[in-house]
Amino acid sequence: MSGLKVYNSLTKKKEKFTPLQKGLVGMYVCGPTVYSDVHLGNIRTFISFDVIYRYLKYSGYKVRYVRNITDVGHLVGDLDTGEDKIAERAKLENLEPMEVVQKYANGFHEMMSIFNVSPPSIEPRATGHIIEQIEMVQKILDNKLAYVKNGSVYFDTIKFNKKYKSYGQLSGRVIEELFSETRELKNQNEKKNPADFAIWMKADERHLMKWNSPWSVGFPGWHLECSAMSTKYLGEKFDIHGGGNDLKFPHHENEVAQNMGACGCTPAQYWLHSNMLLMNGKKMSKSDGNTITAEQLFSGESEHVSKGYSPMVIRFFLMQAHYRSTIDLSDEALSAAEKGYRKVIEANRFLQSIKAVTETTINEIDTKVNQTIASVYDELDDDFNTPKALARIFELVPVINSFKDGKEEFKNLSQSTIANLQKCFSEVLFDIFGLQDEYESGSNNLSASLDGVMQLVLELRQQARANKDWATSDKIRDTLAKENIVIKDGKDGSSWSLN
């Protein structure tokens, strides 16, 4: 229950998880910038935090999960004077900026739903919080940790670091080195030093997205929206802040600075960072063109895959790696995941169909199975170790299948052990990992009647087999196979499944 340990990027250590308020967790995760279609790398991050969110809820916490949508403030190119990404895209597609935002936000939500990612408790947008952001800029100015230059406002990292000595703590950077490192290509005369960053930018005439402020007609700096919105919905101090590894610097580092600059306290207790999805050994990234969209993966229309893979196979594939490790996407790995997914889902399907078992005494095998079940949750308590938990689940699969086959050692599993297995598989696979049984194809009327038809077919085939009429029995099997229905002959009759 409270045995959860999490790896904190701030301290670089695994720590016992203790929320600020007993039983309640506030979690903020950086969402997408909606200026183009999400790719699988983005999706991985949101699935990782979905599992974390689900596990926290499973563990009995009441979680307020805030995941924002950034629809302004991302700049293009090397310079802070660059065009806003959304505005840029709007020009390109000949759309109103808000149309761009809506279009890609819709696409994002659709993807999240396809991958069974739970919606957050609050999904705030940057453009909906301009006032809060302006107020935060003012607070930082009041605290003398920012300065105004030609209508733009810059965060004064030197002054901030003198006061708090903490700039760079999260990303492991030393502020002095940041100066010497920063390339001199910036025509950033407005900044006092290169490590400073804009929290409010004056917009020029051509800019499409701009708002009134005490300093100029302009727009907020990129990092500001997360600071403002996390404060608004979770308070100045909250429990977990998450995001992709690539956001650690400068985004999260600057976020911390802004929060401290405004309220004098560190925002999140625990910083969790998920690692990147790789393809061909390299980070999946739009700018490199090293990407694959989910649609391409579903349809198989990509040079990277030989066939299509379903959303749940992909989700299962991701569960096989720890969220803090990179994972390499490949055709071979996906097809291995597909088989593994099928195996565990089918074992579960049988498991859940077991009605009542004659109660027997608890024997050695029961004890062993129950220990393994307990270990599944221990693994998840250890920084959400899904691959280890999954390994334990797979140790239980042969137990279930052996029970099904009536194997001597397993046929007398007790009622309570079966119940524990059912609970464990259902909780871990569906509630925590967020998988779905794709072979079940819904509990609709069609599948129910199909099952009725299939029972008849299987019965007829069974008769044919009893009469050693192999021609008929094989014809049934082979014809069904062409329709992607697979017949499996077991000890106590046959079963079927959709391929």
Partner RNA sequence: GGUCGGGUGGCCGAGUGGCUAGGCAGAGGUCUGCAAAACCUCGUACAGCGGUUCGAAUCCGCUUCCGACCUCCA
Contacts (CB under 7 A) with RNA, residues 4-33: 12, 30-33
C-alpha to C-alpha distance for 5 and 16, rounded to whole angstroms: 4
State yes or no: residue 473 binds RNA (CB under 7 A).
yes
Indicate the DSSP class of residue 211: B
Q: Which of 60-68, 70-78, 91-99, 118-126 is the region at the interface with RNA (rule: CB under 7 A)?
A: 70-78
Of residues 400-429, which lie at the interface with RNA (CB under 7 A)? 401-402, 404-405, 407
Contacting residue, 10, 76, 114, 122, with RNA by CB under 7 A = 76
Contacting residue, 220, 294, 322, 348, with RNA by CB under 7 A = 322
Q: Please report how close the Cβ of residue 454 comes to RNA at its closest, in angstroms.
A: 15
State yes or no: residue 67 binds RNA (CB under 7 A).
no
Alpha carbon separation from 253 to 9, 154, 157, 166, 287 (Å, rounded): 11, 15, 11, 10, 23
Termini Cα distance of the chain: 39
Q: Please report how close the Cβ of residue 250 comes to RNA at its closest, in angstroms.
A: 6
Q: Please report how close the Cβ of residue 422 comes to RNA at its closest, in angstroms.
A: 17
Q: Please report how close the Cβ of residue 430 comes to RNA at its closest, in angstroms.
A: 18
State yes or no: residue 491 binds RNA (CB under 7 A).
yes
Nearer to RNA, 61 or 384 (CB): 384
Nearer to RNA, 23 or 281 (CB): 281
Nearer to RNA, 86 or 263 (CB): 86
Alpha carbon separation from 166 to 83, 141, 243, 253, 470 (Å, rounded): 31, 19, 20, 10, 77
Q: Which of 128-136, 140-148, 181-189, 452-460 is the region at the interface with RNA (rule: CB under 7 A)?
A: 181-189
- Give the amino acid at 78: D
Of residues 236-265, which lie at the interface with RNA (CB under 7 A)? 243-251
Q: Please report how close the Cβ of residue 320 comes to RNA at its closest, in angstroms.
A: 5
The b-or-e profile of 395-404 (16+ CB within 10 A means b, else e) is: ebbebbbbbb
Q: Which of 128-136, 177-185, 303-311, 451-459 is the region at the interface with RNA (rule: CB under 7 A)?
A: 177-185
Contacting residue, 22, 183, 206, 482, with RNA by CB under 7 A = 183
The helix (H) or strand (E) run that includes residue 276 is: none
Of residues 349-408, which lie at the interface with RNA (CB under 7 A)? 385, 387-388, 390-391, 394-395, 397-398, 401-402, 404-405, 407
C-alpha to C-alpha distance for 222 and 70, rounded to whole angstroms: 9
C-alpha to C-alpha distance for 418 and 357, rounded to whole angstroms: 8
| Residue 474 contacts residue 465 (beta carbons within 8 Å) | no
State yes or no: residue 318 binds RNA (CB under 7 A).
no
Render 29-87 in DSSP notation, one character per residue: E---BTTS---HHHHHHHHHHHHHHHHHHHTT-EEEEEE-BB-S-PBPSSSTTSPBHHH
| Residue 284 contacts residue 276 (beta carbons within 8 Å) | yes
State yes or no: residue 157 binds RNA (CB under 7 A).
no
